[in-house]
């Protein structure tokens, strides 16, 4: 299981014990069984964001480049729809409704 939190406008990838404790406390408040879980590691990931995710196709010479980025902390929430739209662009089919 992966637990995580979000912090805007940070490019620091150093784990912060205070933030780790805060994330765990908030998750335990939702699911008390997590209090007994073994923590295997702490990592920090960057979630680049834009005003709106970019899902678009672009021709570069003979290649078709499909962009699908900029989701910030909404990546999981938007992943299925954006992946379908990106696949449709790559396949040259109509995007899903």
Average pLDDT over residues 45-69: 90
The pTM score is 0.57
What does the mean pLDDT of the chain come to?
A: 86
Task: In whole angstroms, give the CA distance from residue 79 to residue 73.
Answer: 11
Q: Is 34 exposed, middle or buried (0-12, 13-18, 19+ CB in 10 A)?
A: middle
pLDDT digits (tens, 9 = 90+) for 6-44: 666 677 888 889 988 998 999 999 999 999 999 899 888
Residue 66's pLDDT is 96
pLDDT bin (cut points 50, 70, 90) of residue 95 is low
At residue 79, the 3 state secondary structure works out as helix
């Amino acid at each position: 299981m992966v637990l995580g939190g979000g912090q805007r406008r940070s490019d620091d990838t150093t784990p912060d014990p205070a933030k780790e404790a805060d994330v765990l406390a908030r998750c335990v408040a939702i699911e008390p069984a997590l209090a007994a879980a073994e923590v295997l590691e702490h990592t920090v990931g960057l979630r680049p964001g834009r005003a709106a995710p970019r899902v678009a196709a672009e021709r570069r010479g003979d290649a078709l480049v499909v962009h699908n980025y900029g989701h910030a902390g909404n990546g999981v929430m938007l992943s299925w729809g954006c992946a379908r739209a990106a696949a449709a662009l790559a396949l040259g089919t109509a995007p899903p409704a």
